Amino acid sequence: MKKESLFLFLTLMFWWSCPEKSEPEDCAGVAGGNTICGCTDSIAPNFDPEATYNDGSCENDYTDNIFCDNMVLQRDVTGRIYGMADEGEVITVTIDGAESSATTVDGEWIVEMPPHAAGGPYTMQIQGNNRETIHNIMYGDVWLCSGQSNMEYQLLKIMNRGQYSDRLAEVRALSNVRMLIIKHVAFTELQDTIQIYTETDTTVHWFLNGEDGYDKFSAVGYVFGTELNDLYDVPIGLISADRGASKVEAWMSPEALEAAGRSYGKTWYKGMIAPIQRFPIKGVIWYQGEANAKSVNSATRYANTFKIHIQYWRDEWGSADFPFLFVQLAGFGKGGYIDITWPVLRESQNKALDLPNTATALAIDLGGNGIHPWQKVGVADRLVVAARSMVYGEDIVHSGPVYNGMTINGNEIILTFDHIGNGLIARAGNPEGAVEIADELTGFTVCGPDEIFVSAQAAISGNTVIVSSPSVTEPVAVRYGWTGLPSANLYNTVDILTRTGEPFIEALPASPFRTDTFTIQEYTEDDPN
């Protein structure tokens, strides 16, 4: 009996000592609950209508549109990530272990991220009351491609002409070239965010190289970016902000326009440039000027306006001297005002070279087949050469001969040049093909005190060019390539190689110039010239 009582006692004690078996908790931490966890924010892209408890998984569009999948962030500089949120909301951004926070003020927030070396891919997490995740981010060099229709000219168009076919298969495999196309939007008021072109208009992201839609990118920009990526194995981000028929004034801020004494109403700047000027970039490639060459007055005024444009873009980006590489107007001739105004515009463009970290890609020999020449590969290659020298530190000659000075010796004028490379030549044949030497040097005119220019004989003598005419016994001035589509063939010779050691560019054209300061009259229909 005692044994039975003892057994019962021990059994009860064991039962009492065992913890009560609890029911499992649901995702909200409620024992035995049936809460459905998820995103309960109806405006979030991952909203779950079945969810009864917000588990903090809601995705939110915190950032500006420029921040999206596949993007490239500028390496080696303090990064700026920015966007919009509720007043007072604290936003924390995390990339590759680096974290920074900011409080939303007046509906906007901006965080600064520490400099980061080239590389990736990384994921960016933006966390506030909700969160946003951006995938497949690279750090590299970001270049803005801007201007008018010759910059807008699509890669697809040169591909359809069979251009670039010898390189396309190789460069299309370069996975770390990413492209963003800003939609054409003009406004009278400054905008807070950009609108982005997508192939399907459903998924906003940077285009990967070779992805559907990549061939809609600027041909000049694409060739430029892929060449840099191939040369240096650095991720390249390309942003296209361009519009056909646009004057330089349309790309300037109200403050810049005021400084230039110009005015403009609805501008591309306000919708396509202003919203991205907090986004760090490496530099700008620029192809524009045709719209400003409609008169001598406009073409002359371009010199000051263009300089102010460059200076204000740099100031507005907060980078006092980022590289600004631009294309000089290509050869184009149909008679009329073109032969008068285009040389003046080229002269005005060249005056921007007085600013630091500027360079020009000469295209006087590329064109002749319309105002939209399809020789975009040659243009881009010359921009690459400028970048290789100025930005990436290669010891190469990045320009063709540039007029330096003159002396008069009897009935001859002797011209000197900068950027002579390995020497001056008169070039024949295809400017993008193998170098051939011409029988004569062309493109020069000379005048006497009467200021009437006539065709001149020209000869290379060492690093100089000697110009004369039997009809001008007292020469006072020389012009070279001074027309819309000149027959001009002065070049230097250079040794610029690809990464594999193959010839890349072997000669660069001289820039058109004049040694005089004569007043150039506006074109009239009865002008004999």
Give the model confidence (pLDDT) of 102-159 as tens digits: 999 999 999 999 999 999 999 999 999 989 999 999 999 999 999 999 999 999 999 8
Rounded CA separation 411/476 (Å): 9
Q: Answer left, alpha or beta for residue 254, where phi above 0 means left and psi between -120 and 50 means alpha.
A: alpha
Rounded CA separation 151/24 (Å): 63
DSSP track, 376-412: HHHHHHHHHHHHHHHTS---S--S--EEEEEEEETTE
**Alpha-carbon Rg of the chain, whole angstroms?**
31
Give residue for tokens 């001009």: 488
Cis peptide before 121 (omega within 30 of 0): yes
E strands within 148-282? 177-181, 207-208, 236-242
Rounded CA separation 121/115 (Å): 16
Give the model confidence (pLDDT) of 350-385 as tens digits: 999 999 999 999 999 998 888 999 899 999 999 999
Rounded CA separation 469/1 (Å): 141
- Mapped onto helix, strand or coil, the DSSP state of residue 490 is strand
- Quickly name the fold that domain 72-137 has: Immunoglobulin-like (2.60.40)
Rounded CA separation 82/147 (Å): 26
Per-residue pLDDT in tens (0 to 9) along the chain, 529 residues: 444 554 444 444 444 444 455 567 777 677 777 888 877 665 466 667 888 877 666 566 788 889 999 999 999 999 999 999 999 999 999 999 999 999 999 999 999 999 999 999 999 999 999 899 999 999 999 999 999 999 999 999 998 888 887 888 888 889 999 999 999 999 999 999 999 988 765 667 899 999 988 999 999 999 999 999 999 999 999 999 999 999 999 999 999 999 999 999 899 999 999 999 999 999 999 999 999 999 999 999 999 999 999 999 999 999 889 999 999 999 998 788 999 999 999 999 999 999 999 999 999 999 888 899 989 999 999 999 999 999 999 999 999 999 999 999 999 999 999 999 999 999 998 998 899 999 999 999 999 999 999 999 999 999 999 999 999 999 999 999 999 999 999 999 999 999 999 999 999 999 999 999 999 999 987 544 3
Q: Are 419 and 463 in contact (CB under 8 A)?
A: no
Domain 138-390: CATH class, spelled out: alpha beta
Q: Answer left, alpha or beta for residue 380, where phi above 0 means left and psi between -120 and 50 means alpha.
A: alpha
Beta bridge partners of 335: none
Asked if the domains at 72-137 and 138-390 fall in one CATH topology, the answer is no
Three state DSSP letters for 116-152: CCCEEEEEEEEECCCEEEEEEEEEEEEEEEEECHHHH
What are the residue ranges spanned by the domains of the chain?
A: 22-59, 72-137, 138-390, 402-514
